[in-house]
Amino acid sequence: MKKLTVLTGAGISAESGIKTFRDGDGLWENHSITDVASPEGWRKDRALVLEFYNQRRRQLHEVEPNEAHRLLAELENYFEVQIITQNIDDLHERAGSTHILHLHGELFKSCSCNNKNLIYEHKNDINIGDKAEDGAQLRPFIVWFGEEVPLMKEATKIVQEADIFLVIGTSLQVYPAAGLLHDIKEDCLLIVINPNETGFGYGQRAVVMKETATQGMKLLFDQLVNLA
């Protein structure tokens, strides 16, 4: 089977009703993203950070995968599909995809703030005083701005082996994830689905579809199956 690697971003989740970091003015209740999604913010006000992610977690219980998520899962019947996602939701899993790498962490998990290898399933609120087994406060299992992305090496290896690389719903502004495009093979087919200009220099390399994630996947699905 050919290897189809998919990089997904906020655009695919937005169609399920999940707000993105880059919506509007980039503020959350008058707080900047660095206040709620950075090590500095955590040191400054843990309660604020926990409440930000508690609200995200509550919202995630209320949304469902969309057609783009479901069509990606269906492609496992035709390809060896590996999804690399910048999203922290579990919509790919709920849609039925089985090989998913979460570059930026997972909203339904927590970890010790002293040891990120102590990881727990966590589908409800995390509160001040909730402790890991090492006695440290639990924090969201999220890669915050300014933190190392530990799964990049694994993601790079997956991308280097891809026969088809499909990019969906990302502006490719967040590094190091955006740099994965530089790791594809010369003969790898690159397809980009994004309704907006990304400013990323594809040259003549990419097939660019200026569509939303769901519409793009509906248009592309049969064409991909024919390439299997």
- Considering the candidates 61, 104, 122, 182, report the single residue annotated as catalytic: 104
**Dist. CA 88–CA 211, nearest whole Å:** 23
The candidate with the shortest Cα–Cα distance to 168, out of 66, 26, 76, is: 66
Residue whose C-alpha is closest to residue 214's, from 104, 67, 108 = 67
Structure tokens at 73: 């899962």
Known catalytic residue: 104? Answer: yes
Sheet (strand 105-112) strand order: 119-121, 105-112, 138-142
Q: How far apart are CA 219 and CA 228, in angstroms?
A: 16
Sheet holding 189-193, edge to edge: 100-102, 80-85, 3-8, 164-168, 189-193, 206-209
Q: Mind telling me the catalytic residues?
A: 104
